[in-house]
Amino acid sequence: MSLKSIGIDIGGTKTAVAAVDSSGKLHARTVFETRSNRGFAAGLADLSKSIHRVLNDSGWAMDELEGIGIGCAGPVNPLRGTIHNPYTLPGWEEADIVSALRHESGLKVILENDADAAAVGEFRFGAGRDASPLVVATVGTGVGGAALLNGQIHRGIKGEHPELGHIPVLPGGPVCYCGTQGCWESLASGTAMSLAGKPFGLGDSRAIFAAFPDNKRAREIIERAVNATATATWTLLHTFLPQRIILGGGIGEAHFELFAAAMREQVRAATQIPKDSVEIVRAQLGQDAGVIGAAALAFQNTNP
Under the criterion CB under 8 A, does residue 231 sit at the interface with a copy of itself?
A: yes
Instruction: Kindly state the greatest CA–CA separation across the chain.
Output: 58
Residue 293's φ and ψ, nearest 5 degrees, are -60, -45
Q: Which residue in 50, 88, 263 sits closest to 191, CA to CA?
A: 88
Three-state DSSP class for residue 44: helix
Residue 29's φ and ψ, nearest 5 degrees, are -155, 140
Q: Stretches 23-31, 91-99, 178-186, 211-219: which one binds a copy of itself (CB under 8 A)? A: 178-186
Under the criterion CB under 8 A, does residue 157 sit at the interface with a copy of itself?
A: yes
Beta-carbon count within 10 A of 62 CB: 14
* Cα(295)–Cα(304) distance, integer angstroms: 14
State which H helix or E strand residue 98 sits in: helix 97-105
Under the criterion CB under 8 A, does residue 130 sit at the interface with a copy of itself?
A: no
Under the criterion CB under 8 A, does residue 2 sit at the interface with a copy of itself?
A: no
Which of residues 133 and 203 has its CB atom nearest to a copy of itself in the complex? 133
Candidates 40, 123, 209, 240; binder of a copy of itself (CB under 8 A) is 240
Under the criterion CB under 8 A, does residue 234 sit at the interface with a copy of itself?
A: yes
DSSP code string of 220-281: HHHHHHHHHHHHHHHHHHHHT--SEEEEESHHHHHTHHHHHHHHHHHHHH--SS-GGG-EEE
Interface with a copy of itself: number of residues (CB under 8 A): 44
Task: Restricting to residues 20-79, name those near a copy of itself by CB under 8 A.
Answer: 75
Peptide bond into 90 cis (omega under 30): no
Under the criterion CB under 8 A, does residue 294 sit at the interface with a copy of itself?
A: no
Under the criterion CB under 8 A, does residue 239 sit at the interface with a copy of itself?
A: yes
- Kindly report the length of the chain: 304
Q: How far is the CB of 167 from a copy of itself (least distance, A)?
A: 5
* Cα(290)–Cα(8) distance, integer angstroms: 8
Under the criterion CB under 8 A, does residue 246 sit at the interface with a copy of itself?
A: no
Q: Stretches 40-48, 166-174, 197-205, 249-257: which one binds a copy of itself (CB under 8 A)? A: 166-174
Q: Stretches 1-9, 29-37, 97-105, 152-160: which one binds a copy of itself (CB under 8 A)? A: 152-160
Q: How far is the CB of 162 from a copy of itself (least distance, A)?
A: 4
Contacting residues toward a copy of itself, per CB under 8 A? 75, 133, 147, 149, 154-158, 160-164, 166-171, 177-180, 183, 231, 234-236, 238-243, 266, 269-274, 277-278
